Amino acid sequence: MKNLKGKVAVITGGGSGLGRELALVCAARGMHLVLGDVDEPGMQETQRLVEEAVPGTRSVSMKLDVSKLAEVQALAKLAADTFGGAHLVFNNAGVSSGGPLWECTEADWVWVTGVNMYGVAWGIKAFVPMMIEQDEGHVVNTASAAGWVNSPGGGIYNAGKHAVVAISETLALDLRDVQANVGVSVLCPAFFPTAIVDADRNRPAELADTAPMSETRKRREEMVRHAVSHGRLSAAEIAEMTVKAVEDEQFYIFPHKKIKQLIKARAEAADQEKEPFDTMAGR
């Protein structure tokens, strides 16, 4: 989608981290904003920052849980009622929890997969028909490097992000099949500094964390916290790269180029048929 000025951007997870930076980049392009997040004060802060950076930007927000289809459909209705539609949808809300797979609870699976995988599925279901109808649109799904290469202790997150890559590729093919004028991109960053390491702050009480804090889990959490806080690219830089990739009609977005080497190494491990590829080996 080449010209974003005057178009409508919808951003889930718009109350923090990458979602907030995407809002700022889209506002700078002259877009109107529709934000969705469980964190209402977070979205208000994003709107305040947008107003400060690009005064006069039109924006609305809705408190919602992306794992619930009806709530994402209500966000689509808000976009249609307020701005007459949605052109650029970022299915971006995401959470993380970790630990060896046999220690993860049913609640861990329901919570993380609900947000990371169903959140993307419902964003597509709620917004793509509107885009096909208006004959214009672009969907950006936030996956991760973890959608391609796996490290120990991140099983549920890895599974959900692999699903987001699969869903995005299939969506692009489905849209091509019907010759729809709707683009797709899948964003696959490595670690970068945001509040994702404290994703539990928005975890629903009915899906509370009851998994044991084993030594393995503790080690994994410390490693992720360190890697996220030391990420070389900022959320702002990744947001700018992402919107530029939409303008360039690019499907795969790898802000950290090293991930492509790891994907090749994984393919090589598969070719060898011996050992599972370990992203963290040698770190």
Ligand X SMILES: NC(=O)c1ccc[n+]([C@@H]2O[C@H](COP(=O)([O-])OP(=O)(O)OC[C@H]3O[C@@H](n4cnc5c(N)ncnc54)[C@H](O)[C@@H]3O)[C@@H](O)[C@H]2O)c1
Sheet containing 8-12: give its strands across: 59-63, 32-37, 8-12, 88-91, 137-142, 182-187, 252-253
> Which lies closer to ligand X via its Cβ, residue 151 or residue 194?
194
Q: Which two tokens stand for residue 62?
A: 């809705």
Give the C-alpha separation, 171 to 124, whole Å.
9
Residue partners of 282: CB distance under 8 A and separation at least 6: none
Give the C-alpha separation, 183 to 250, whole Å.
9
Q: Which of residues 232-271 bind ligand X (CB under 6 A)?
A: none
**Residue 17 binds to ligand X (criterion: CB under 6 A):** yes
Beta strands in 15-136 (DSSP E): 32-37, 59-63, 88-91
Q: Of 19, 137, 152, 255, which one interacts with ligand X (CB under 6 A)?
A: 19
Q: Which of residues 128-157 bind ligand X (CB under 6 A)?
A: 142, 144
> Which lies closer to ligand X via its Cβ, residue 176 or residue 232?
232
Please report how close the Cβ of residue 76 comes to ligand X at its closest, in angstroms: 14
**Residue 38 binds to ligand X (criterion: CB under 6 A):** yes
Q: Of 78, 79, 124, 199, which one interacts with ligand X (CB under 6 A)?
A: 199
Q: Of 202, 217, 239, 254, which one interacts with ligand X (CB under 6 A)?
A: 202
Q: Which residue in the block uniquely carries the two structure tokens 């796996």?
A: 150
* Polymer length in residues for the chain: 283
Sign of the torsion formed by the C-alpha atoms of 179, 167, 92 and 28: negative
Please report how close the Cβ of residue 219 comes to ligand X at its closest, in angstroms: 18
Side-chain half-sphere CA neighbours of 248 within 13 A: 10
> Which lies closer to ligand X via its Cβ, residue 38 or residue 128?
38
Q: Which of residues 70-109 bind ligand X (CB under 6 A)?
A: 92-95
Sign of the torsion formed by the C-alpha atoms of 241, 57, 198 and 62: negative
Would you please indicate which residues are annotated as catalytic (active-site) residues? Answer: 157
Please report how close the Cβ of residue 148 comes to ligand X at its closest, in angstroms: 11
> Which lies closer to ligand X via its Cβ, residue 176 or residue 230?
230
Q: Are 99 and 154 in contact (CB under 8 A)?
A: no
> Which lies closer to ligand X via its Cβ, residue 145 or residue 182?
145
**Residue 39 binds to ligand X (criterion: CB under 6 A):** yes
Q: Of 89, 228, 243, 263, which one interacts with ligand X (CB under 6 A)?
A: 228
52: Cα separation from own chain's centroid = 25
**Which residues of the shown chain bind ligand X in the complex (CB under 6 A)?**
12-13, 15-19, 37-39, 42, 64-67, 92-95, 115, 142, 144, 189, 191-192, 194-196, 199, 202, 228, 231
